[in-house]
């Protein structure tokens, strides 16, 4: 009976049944979908646990660590991340949209579920998944903090969520200025107490401590890398135009029309409206200093769709909207799946290609590779360390590993034809080509001088 009552409480609306069905499908697909090279890279992190990493904060490595007991069953090591991504949709539909009628919750559920980044994107284990999960929890806890103004529980939970979100991706820091701007615009700052500021700051700092400690001990290397990655270049009009066109596609043009038709941008009392506006303005600004990637403003999509759903009240139009919206998402995924894949850089085919390269190079040992992608995939396949040869490509976490510097008298180096042998190693080793592999890869034998 208790189990039956729990099941009834969890599945009492149609969207909740759909949620569990889709979870089952996603877990099945994710189990057999080959790893992307970046996933193999994050898996390597879980084999080399640190407080944080050069490229990203550590939370994605913790998720792969949670998947380690089942990692030998195909690609099940990513399932904890997939589950977290799907739980993000539950947070929005069950809690943040709790006052929506069931029909609107179902609309929100399906919009989020078929969205290229929010829904389909959670099939791939990457830092965006825990980032959006903790961003969503922060939205919920922030709203609860204002509703339950005398409770200290919600500000504490808000701080914990912000801290763990910062351990997922540094973009979580944007939550604070957006929330402060909302408090000022809406006038809600007048009812705040000291706890609403002190507790989130204290617990946020406490739960993000691994990132701060690692960066402090590493000359703030990760922070500098992310800032240089997104800003600091001379403006190129193409960056802004590409970002606006790509974001408009992901927001869906008919939905943008509804947004402006109903003047949703004027709703200063709606926290989601402020979040969407602040994030949109910020990321448009970033295009003046660098090429802004379309996944960076990930957090604005749930807020945008949350605002929009109450205005999707025409059944015929809804069928057309959902058909086109879902179809575009599927077409985008299918296009990526059937791309020619002539090089390992074709995302959905790179796993099979790296496996072929790994099998072709098994007889060359010890083997170093030229990129973190190939080194990570080889490490995952062999379940033993493979290293990128230090200095052979842009700085990444492998450059912080002692194993990236050869100590052997003889070693082998796998690289693509266009890549050059690092001059730092030419000073101490003599290189000669010994094999040509598929997809313009080649292997060199390095002999110490």
Residue that the structure tokens 């919600």 belong to? 154
- Residue 423 confidence (pLDDT) above 50: yes
- The pLDDT of residue 154: 97
Distance CA 378, CA 359 (A): 9
Residue 178 pLDDT level (bands cut at 50, 70, 90): very high
Q: What is the pLDDT of residues 205-257, one digit of tens each?
A: 999 999 999 999 999 999 988 887 766 677 888 999 999 998 998 998 889 99
Residue 89 pLDDT level (bands cut at 50, 70, 90): very high
Structure-block tokens of residue 224: 């500098």
- Residue 109 confidence (pLDDT) above 50: yes
Structure-block tokens of residue 362: 């098994």
Region 185-198: what's the mean pLDDT?
90
Region 13-36: what's the mean pLDDT?
94
Task: For residue 336, give every residue at least 6 positions away whose Cβ sits within 8 Å of its Cβ, in sequence order, or none.
Answer: 347, 348
- The pLDDT of residue 320: 62
DSSP 146-210: HHSTT-SHHHHHHHHHHHHHHTT-GGGGGHHHHHHHHHHHHSGGGG--THHHHHHHHHHHHHTHH
Structure-block tokens of residue 25: 């499908």
Distance CA 175, CA 95 (A): 19
Instruction: Say if CB 40 and CB 369 are below 8 A apart.
Output: no
Instruction: Say if CB 161 and CB 205 are below 8 A apart.
Output: no
> Residues 4, 6, 10, CA angle at the centre, nearest 5°?
115
- Greater pLDDT, 154 or 2: 154
Distances (CA, A) of 279 to 48, 76, 166, 304: 34, 34, 16, 11
Structure-block tokens of residue 84: 């977290």
Question: What one-character DSSP code corresponds to residue 274?
Answer: H
- Greater pLDDT, 213 or 323: 213
Region 415-432: what's the mean pLDDT?
94
Q: How many percent of the chain have pLDDT more than 90?
A: 74
Q: What is the pLDDT of residues 128-162, one digit of tens each?
A: 999 999 999 999 999 999 999 999 999 999 999 99
Task: For residue 224, give every residue at least 6 positions away whose Cβ sits within 8 Å of its Cβ, in sequence order, or none.
Answer: none
Task: Specify the length of the chain in residues.
Answer: 449
Half-sphere exposure for 372 (CA within 13 Å, toward CB): 21
- The pLDDT of residue 116: 87
- Residue 343 confidence (pLDDT) above 60: no
- The pLDDT of residue 58: 98
- The pLDDT of residue 253: 86
Residue 163 burial (CB count, 10 A): 25
Instruction: State the DSSP H helix or E strand holding residue 447, giving kind and residue range, or none if neither.
Output: strand 441-448
- Greater pLDDT, 1 or 394: 394
3-class SS of residue 306: helix
- The pLDDT of residue 8: 54
Task: For residue 367, give every residue at least 6 positions away whose Cβ sits within 8 Å of its Cβ, in sequence order, or none.
Answer: 361, 378, 386, 411, 412, 413, 414, 443
- Residue 71 confidence (pLDDT) above 90: yes
In 3D space, the residue among 47, 114, 148, 130 whose CA is nearest the CA of residue 82 turns out to be 130
Instruction: Say if CB 348 and CB 339 are below 8 A apart.
Output: yes
Half-sphere exposure for 444 (CA within 13 Å, toward CB): 21
Q: How many percent of the chain have pLDDT more than 70?
A: 89
DSSP 50-66: -S--SSS-SHHHHHHHH
Task: For residue 338, give every residue at least 6 positions away whose Cβ sits within 8 Å of its Cβ, in sequence order, or none.
Answer: none
- Greater pLDDT, 101 or 336: 101
Distance CA 162, CA 59 (A): 13
Structure-block tokens of residue 350: 């790179």
Q: What is the pLDDT of residues 259-303, one digit of tens each?
A: 999 998 887 679 999 999 999 999 999 998 888 888 999 999 999
Laid out side by side, the sheet with 367-369 consists of 387-388, 367-369, 410-416, 441-448, 429-437
> pTM (2 decimals)?
0.92
Region 7-22: what's the mean pLDDT?
82
Task: For residue 359, give every residue at least 6 positions away whose Cβ sits within 8 Å of its Cβ, in sequence order, or none.
Answer: none
Count Cβ atoms within 10 A of the Cβ of residue 155 and give its class: 0-12 exposed, 13-18 middle, 19 or more buried. buried
- The pLDDT of residue 342: 42
């Amino acid at each position: 009976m208790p189990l039956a009552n729990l099941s009834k409480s969890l599945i009492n609306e149609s969207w909740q049944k759909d949620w569990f069905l889709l979870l089952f499908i996603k877990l099945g697909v994710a189990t057999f979908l080959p790893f992307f090279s970046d996933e193999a890279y994050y898996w390597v992190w879980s084999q080399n646990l640190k407080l944080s990493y050069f490229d990203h904060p550590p939370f994605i490595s913790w998720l792969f660590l949670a998947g380690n007991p089942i990692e030998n069953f195909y690609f099940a090591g990513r399932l904890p991340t997939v589950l977290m991504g799907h739980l993000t949709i539950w947070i929005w539909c069950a809690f943040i949209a709790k006052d929506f009628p069931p029909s609107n919750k179902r609309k929100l559920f399906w919009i989020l579920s078929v969205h290229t980044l929010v829904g389909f994107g959670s099939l791939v284990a990457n830092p965006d998944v825990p980032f959006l999960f903790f961003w969503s929890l922060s939205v919920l806890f922030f709203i609860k903090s204002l509703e339950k103004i005398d409770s200290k529980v919600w500000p504490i939970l808000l701080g914990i969520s912000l801290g763990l979100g910062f351990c997922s991706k540094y973009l979580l820091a944007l939550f604070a200025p957006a929330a402060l701007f909302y408090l000022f615009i809406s006038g809600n700052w007048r009812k705040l107490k000291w706890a609403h500021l002190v507790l989130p700051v204290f617990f946020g700092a406490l739960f993000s401590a691994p990132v701060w400690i690692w960066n402090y001990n590493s000359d703030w290397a990760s922070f500098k890398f992310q800032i240089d990655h997104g800003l600091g270049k001379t403006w190129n009009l193409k960056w802004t135009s590409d970002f606006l066109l790509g974001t408009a596609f992901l927001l869906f043009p008919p939905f943008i029309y509804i947004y402006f038709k109903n003047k949703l941008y004027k709703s200063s009392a709606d926290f989601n409206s402020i979040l969407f506006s602040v994030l949109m303005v910020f990321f448009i600004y970033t295009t003046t200093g660098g090429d802004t990637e379309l996944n960076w403003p990930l957090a604005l999509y749930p807020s945008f769709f949350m605002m929009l759903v109450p205005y999707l009240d025409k059944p015929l139009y809804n069928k057309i909207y959902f058909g086109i919206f879902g179809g575009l998402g599927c077409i985008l995924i299918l296009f990526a799946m059937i791309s020619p894949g002539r090089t390992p850089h074709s995302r959905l085919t790179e796993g099979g290609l790296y496996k072929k390269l790994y099998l072709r190079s098994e007889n060359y040992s010890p083997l170093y590779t030229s990129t973190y992608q190939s080194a990570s995939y080889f490490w995952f396949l062999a379940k033993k360390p493979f290293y990128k040869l230090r200095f052979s490509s842009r700085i990444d976490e492998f450059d912080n590993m002692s194993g990236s510097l050869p100590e052997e008298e003889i070693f082998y180096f796998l690289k693509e034809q266009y890549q050059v042998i690092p001059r730092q190693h030419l000073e101490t080793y003599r290189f000669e080509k010994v094999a040509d592999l598929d997809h313009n890869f080649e292997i060199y034998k390095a002999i110490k001088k």
